[in-house]
Chains A and B, each alone.
Chain A
Amino acid sequence: MITIVDYQAGNLTSVKWALEELGHPACVTSNPAAVIAAERLIFPGVGAAGAAMRHLRERGLADALRDAAAAGVPLLGICLGMQILFERSEEDGGVETLGLLPGTVRRFRPSHPRDKVPHMGWNRVRWVRPHPLLEGLPNEMCFYFVHSYYVRPARPEVTLGLTDYADESFCAAAAADNLLATQFHIEKSGPAGLMLLDRFARWDGHAPPPRGEAAGC
């Protein structure tokens, strides 16, 4: 059973339908005890970091997520859910986030009007290091993005995939231990997204530690 964390930050329906199509049973909860007891967690999110963190703290979900992550539960953060796994976001005048991964979140500052914010649409992700979830996949794949902020990991080796946009090669996917995080909407990225989601749903949460010298974001 996959547990989808509901914290009033966006539409969870599409995650549920994607899992249904893949045949993985899922439930939606906002109960911290259910998060701690989960076998596998999906932490989605659309919206603003400040409001999201407020909800997570008020409901006791912030601590529950930290406990589950520390216990080795496979955890997937999507979009805002990815950003919140890091330490701090500059959104809403600066927000302390969960701090499960070292790094910060900043806004795109394009120098050319061609690069619109939010970054919305299909873009290429270039995998930069091996990971059990990526075995046998092409080096580059297209996924669907909608976001104005992106993650800058403090340890570049957590970066799994990079995407070029607005003068940056930003971190589009990250992984460390039992955590996977995608800036793109894995649940809305067609067959490519579903394949990666299916792999996460079957993953045992183990990955060899990345080597220290991977490409940085």
Chain B
Amino acid sequence: MLMRRLIPCLDVVRGRVTKGVRFRDNVELGDPVEIARRYYEDGCDELVVYDITASAEHRATDLAMVARVARAVHVPFAVGGGISGVPDMARVLDAGAEKVSVNSLAVQRPEIIREGARAFGSQCVVLGLDAARTDNRVACPSGYEVTIRGFRERTGRDAVEWARQAAELGAGEVVVNAVDADGTREGYELTITRLIAEAVPIPVVASGGAGRAEHLRDAFITAKADAAIVAGILHTGRTTLARLKAELAALGVPVRS
């Protein structure tokens, strides 16, 4: 049986890891490589690094940073931000990442998923899906809408339908970021996570809202997620990966110790 994965997420702004409700009130935390290394030593199963200002600044992903992270951690990691096509994906993978995450780009040009999967294999292509609750049940029967550009822009597309389409195009994994839960520490958005987990044949990663071990258990068991992103509660030192894993093991969740 596969272990449930805990994945710390590093949001990098101008070369520094930041925290906060994403894209707002960012507080600088430090060097991405040092922080990645600390989480590696503390037992992270995987890592995600988002170069979150790359696209806004019209530049490609910071490859020097990706290469330094690759040298420091010996578990898989994904990189997102600043990807505009297959050549960018190739550069990120060559720099030592295992996976590339696409988000707004894939919404605008879904073919990028197929192209990436053909070139590198599905396991290298992660869809980042930013979902927000909506009352527009006509366009979005699931009650959740896809947003882009860091939750700033609504698309009118149904989140579950988009996840299903992305999986058919060849995405190997989907990270479900829920705007309504992001940064709250009150638990993951279980409804949309589960709807997507039941709709796609690929692993689903819950993201946004982790406050304590029970929230992760709920994401894994109630919402059927295969993995969960953890950020704020680690960055602030409120808990550690080792402690979360011990608590999850005690709650009956299979985790790598």
Contact = CB atoms under 8 A, between A and B. Distances in A.
B251 interface: no
B75 interface: yes
A123 interface: yes
Chain A contact surface mostly: mixed
B76 A47 contact: no
Contacts of A193: 74
A21 B3 CA distance: 26
A116 B202 contact: yes
Nearest to A120: B123
Nearest to B96: A13
Interface string B117-150: 0000111000000000000000000000000000
A120 B2 CA distance: 8
Interface string A87-128: 000000000000000000000000001001011111110000
B122 A118 contact: yes
B215 interface: no
B212 interface: no
B172 A21 contact: no
A129 B43 CA distance: 28
Contact of B74 (A116, A121, A165, A190): A190
B70 interface: yes
A188 interface: yes
B123 A20 contact: no
B46 to A, nearest CB: 8
A189 B2 contact: no
Interface residues of B, number: 29
A42 to B, nearest CB: 15
Interface residues of A, number: 31
B1 A116 contact: no
Interface string A187-217: 1111101100000000000000000000000
A190 B71 contact: no
A193 B75 CA distance: 9
Contacts of A14: 70, 74, 96, 98
Interface in B215-240: 226-227
Contacts of A189: 74-75
Given A116-B201, A190-B40, A146 B75 contact: no
B45 interface: yes
A78 interface: no
A194 B172 CA distance: 26
B117 to A, nearest CB: 12
Contacts of A164: 1
Nearest to B226: A121
B73 to A, nearest CB: 9
A17 B3 contact: no
Nearest to B2: A121
Contacts of A17: 70-71, 74, 96
A150 interface: no
Contact of A122 (B45, B71, B121): B45
Nearest to A48: B121
A123 B74 contact: no
Interface in B58-91: 70-71, 74-76
A144 B122 contact: no
Nearest to B198: A113
B34 interface: no
Interface of A: 11, 13-14, 17-18, 20-21, 46-47, 113, 116, 118-124, 142, 144, 146, 164-165, 185, 187-191, 193-194
Interface of B: 1-3, 5, 40, 43, 45, 70-71, 74-76, 93-96, 98, 121-123, 172-173, 201-203, 226-227, 256-257
Closest 8 CB pairs of A and B: A122-B3, A142-B256, A121-B2, A13-B96, A122-B256, A17-B71, A146-B123, A190-B75
